[in-house]
A and B are shown apart, each in its own frame.
Chain A
Amino acid sequence: MSTAAATAGERTGRAKPATMAQALGRALRDSMAEDPTVHVLGEDVGTLGGVFRVTDGLAKEFGDERCTDTPLAEAGILGAAVGMAMYGLRPVVEMQFDAFAYPAFEQLVSHVAKMRNRTGGAMPLPITVRVPYGGGIGGVEHHSDSSEAYYMATPGLHVVMPATVDDAYGLLRESIASDDPVVFLEPKRLYWSKADWSPDAPAPVEPIGRAVVRRPGRSATLITYGPSLPVCLEAAEAATAEGWDLEVVDLRSLVPFDDETVAASVRRTGRAVVVHESSGFGGPGGEIAARVTERCFHHLEAPVLRVAGFDIPYPPPMQERHHLPGVDRVLDAVARLQWEAES
């Protein structure tokens, strides 16, 4: 987002259409303006403004030392961020694409996630790792991975994923302000999604770790996050034709996981489908289904089902629509929630 656009937004003070990418950029800008220890670093984040233009204007406004084009080496970027955080800075690291973040995996798992714990709380690392996430943008190989399960399985990390323009701003501000490390997954296919948004008066956001009911309903609960939220909302609208009134829960954060909101919804509806584009086997849906079953067993009318990406390497762009969970696949799952017991 350009600074000029942000200023224009401030002047009018009125909500107007903004993209998720712009809201993310504004969150970075406001965090940097508010806290001089916030530093942005990554590949092409400076002069270019990032390949998705999320960091556009930051180097110009705050200088190269605050928004730094680094050498092209993800482990080095995150490793350097660890050292910067050790010295009291608050680094925000951009990984260019989800599948390009893997070289940094050792730094993330062995140091970022563990430093607070291994120093008995003496040295927390307030690092935010921004990762453009998932598919659906026609990206060629290695540009569309769903990597959240790896991060979820690593104690010490928070894993956050916005699905709306408001949340993109609010959750990123919260993540940067957090003294814990946060893996902040940005759904690529929602970067250009728009909403009326007022940059000078963004909606208040609860602390990281709170899910939200995006659509109340009585028949069944769709539990989802990130890029699958619009899919679920569309499915819920379509489901009304079948007489189903679906509730849609947006998790917003996978770690911490909001058992309370999820379980309360499923207890109300008695049925649940978990929807995500990450592969199903070993994916978040299995964990979520288990947690729901453990807490809501006596309220359940049917097994908790999962709608997920297939257990295949992410397909070439001309085939990706077959892989990504769509409205029909969600509705098929809803149809299998043992409604015959109702009649």
Chain B
Amino acid sequence: MTVQELPGAAAYRPTPPPAWKPLTDPAPLLPDPEPFRVLGTDAAADADPELLLRLYAELVRGRRYNAQATALTKQGRLAVYPSSTGQEACEIAAALVLEDRDWLFPSYRDTLAAVARGLDPVEALTLLRGDRHTGYDPREHRIAPLCTPLATQLPHAVGLAHAARLKGDDVVALAMVGDGGTSEGDFHEALNFAAVWRAPVVFLVQNNGFAISVPLAKQTAAPSLAHKAVGYGMPGRLVDGNDAAAMHQVLSEAVARARRGEGPTLVEAVTYRMDAHTNADDATRYRGDSEVETWRAHDPIVLLERELTGRGLLDEDGMTAVREEAERMAEGLREQMNADPVLDPMDLFSHVYEEQTGQLREQADQLRVELDAEHGPHDGHGAEGVR
């Protein structure tokens, strides 16, 4: 028997409990029904030509970087590379919308964002080369270590932004995560903390269609990932992640909103991972060529090129110049990555604690003896390559 069938049920009118009222009107928080676009729309005419050209150069450079890094895995110079080919508009926009004092919290697929923010292309790759977990000082560059455990860096972004606000500093944190990462508990906790604390954070979800092999439909039943924002009381923005101008605009607005003290924003960028998950993955096992071809027609570089050439802002010479510059970058990267990194095995014990424990001193002594037996007395600079 249900409540409706109970005698007198017709007269039953539930009233809300006395203290109940909605905390937030959900309507203004809802994302657009379609991903926001600029390129190919009337809004493109308002876009700053200088910005579009900058974005174009960075996109081409970024794609070349991805190609070069993937090639380096084939030559054994990188242990692994999770490429962001196809997602360059997200990566580049995330880097360009931040001020120098702001912080970027990249995931393992976001090497490109770190490089576009100014990080040395080789330092950015140490994790994936396998010589150092983090080859740069995060505080010097305001770039957190590339984070492998999914979504676990998101609460860090919240804490850092919160701390900056407590100190009265005008700092925004932008944290990057994939569609698969939105299923993690840390995603939920980070968004909830950020909203409760009104922390100046922008969460950028790159929905590239797949978590390795698992499509979005098996990841969520939400109308969109941007809709998840509403449940936390923050606005969700849905944007075409292959439209660099749209990405730049939406992220800029979210950063500005955070800077004004209005709290966090969740941005879902709809994009596509053109390459496999990493060089070690075989994407043909879970998706067809036709799907990839559909997305190739919506390529971020193609979209921007069409806009720029259509408006007479870019010609064949301009494109060649951009490609040549990207080629020089790739050449430099190739050259630098061909040198074996110099590693001192004794460094393994140097940064576990501020001061080595007795146990670590004993173990360091043991390794030193082994190294001496192998190479003669240890001079503090081991000659071992990493491979």
CB of A79 closer than 8 Å to a CB of B: yes
Q: Which of B154, B185, B359 contacts A256 (CB 8 A)?
A: B359
**Contact pattern, B 283-311, Cβ under 8 Å of A = 1, otherwise 0:** 00000000000000000000000000000
Whether A180 contacts B354 in the complex (CB less than 8 A), given A117-B133, A257-B359, comes out as yes
Residues 230 to 278 of chain B near chain A (Cβ within 8 Å): none
Whether A75 contacts B163 in the complex (CB less than 8 A), given A116-B353, A257-B359, comes out as no
A75 touches B137 (CB 8 A): no
Which residues of A are found within 8 Å of B160, using beta-carbon distances? Answer: 83-84, 86-87
Whether A118 contacts B134 in the complex (CB less than 8 A), given A75-B185, A79-B189, A83-B160, comes out as yes
CB of B145 closer than 8 Å to a CB of A: yes
**Contact pattern, A 69-88, Cβ under 8 Å of B = 1, otherwise 0:** 01101011011111111111
Q: Whole-angstrom distance from the CB of B1 to the nearest CB of chain A?
A: 35
A118 touches B193 (CB 8 A): no
CB of B6 closer than 8 Å to a CB of A: no
A79 touches B152 (CB 8 A): yes
Q: Which of A82, A114, A179, A180 contacts B159 (CB 8 A)?
A: A82
A86 touches B159 (CB 8 A): yes
A259 touches B159 (CB 8 A): no
CB of A128 closer than 8 Å to a CB of B: no
CB of A122 closer than 8 Å to a CB of B: yes
Cα A87 to Cα B160 with chains together (Å): 6
Cα A80 to Cα B186 with chains together (Å): 10
CB of B138 closer than 8 Å to a CB of A: yes
A80 touches B351 (CB 8 A): no
CB of B198 closer than 8 Å to a CB of A: no
**Contact pattern, A 50-93, Cβ under 8 Å of B = 1, otherwise 0:** 00000000000000010000110101101111111111110100
Q: Whole-angstrom distance from the CB of A253 to the nearest CB of chain B?
A: 10
CB of A158 closer than 8 Å to a CB of B: yes
Cα A114 to Cα B352 with chains together (Å): 7
B359 touches A75 (CB 8 A): no
Residues 187 to 212 of chain B near chain A (Cβ within 8 Å): 189-190, 192-193, 196
Residue in A91, A121, A156 with the greatest tally of chain B CB atoms within 10 Å: A121
Q: Whole-angstrom distance from the CB of A57 to the nearest CB of chain B?
A: 21
Cα A65 to Cα B351 with chains together (Å): 32
CB of B155 closer than 8 Å to a CB of A: yes
Which residues of B are found within 8 Å of A88, using beta-carbon distances? Answer: 163, 167
Residues 144 to 201 of chain A near chain B (Cβ within 8 Å): 155-156, 158, 178-180
Which residues of A are found within 8 Å of B149, using beta-carbon distances? Answer: 106, 110
A119 touches B138 (CB 8 A): yes
Residue in A81, A123, A258 with the greatest tally of chain B CB atoms within 10 Å: A123
CB of B54 closer than 8 Å to a CB of A: no
B358 touches A86 (CB 8 A): no
Q: Whole-angstrom distance from the CB of B168 to the nearest CB of chain A?
A: 11
Residues 161 to 175 of chain B near chain A (Cβ within 8 Å): 161-164, 166-167, 173
A/B pair count, beta carbons within 8 Å:
140
CB of B94 closer than 8 Å to a CB of A: no
Q: Whole-angstrom distance from the CB of B154 to the nearest CB of chain A?
A: 7
Which residues of B are found within 8 Å of A255, using beta-carbon distances? Answer: 357
**A255 nearest CB neighbor, chain B only:** B357
Q: Whole-angstrom distance from the CB of A296 to the nearest CB of chain B?
A: 15
A156 touches B352 (CB 8 A): yes
Q: Which of A111, A114, A115, A257 contacts B357 (CB 8 A)?
A: A257
Cα A330 to Cα B161 with chains together (Å): 51
Cα A79 to Cα B357 with chains together (Å): 26
Whether A79 contacts B158 in the complex (CB less than 8 A), given A123-B138, A124-B354, comes out as yes
CB of A316 closer than 8 Å to a CB of B: no
Whether A80 contacts B358 in the complex (CB less than 8 A), given A106-B152, A117-B133, comes out as no
CB of B334 closer than 8 Å to a CB of A: no
Which residues of A are found within 8 Å of B185, using beta-carbon distances? Answer: 75, 103
Q: Whole-angstrom distance from the CB of A293 to the nearest CB of chain B?
A: 15
Cα A168 to Cα B2 with chains together (Å): 57
Cα A43 to Cα B74 with chains together (Å): 50
CB of B323 closer than 8 Å to a CB of A: no
B132 touches A76 (CB 8 A): no
Residue in A114, A116, A119, A155 with the greatest tally of chain B CB atoms within 10 Å: A119
Residue in A73, A85, A86, A120 with the greatest tally of chain B CB atoms within 10 Å: A86
B186 touches A75 (CB 8 A): yes
CB of B218 closer than 8 Å to a CB of A: no
What are 16 sample pairs from A and B whose C-beta atoms fall under 8 A apart?
Answer: A70-B193, A75-B186, A76-B192, A76-B193, A80-B156, A83-B159, A84-B160, A110-B149, A111-B152, A116-B352, A117-B351, A119-B351, A120-B134, A120-B137, A122-B134, A260-B358
- B residues contacting A by CB (< 8 A) are 132-134, 137-140, 144-145, 149, 152, 154-164, 166-167, 173, 185-186, 189-190, 192-193, 196, 347, 350-354, 357-359
19 more A-B residue pairs beyond the given contacts A71-B192, A75-B189, A83-B162, with a C-beta to C-beta distance below 8 A: A73-B193, A75-B155, A76-B158, A76-B186, A82-B155, A83-B158, A84-B160, A86-B160, A107-B155, A110-B149, A118-B145, A119-B137, A120-B132, A120-B137, A121-B350, A122-B138, A122-B139, A180-B354, A259-B359
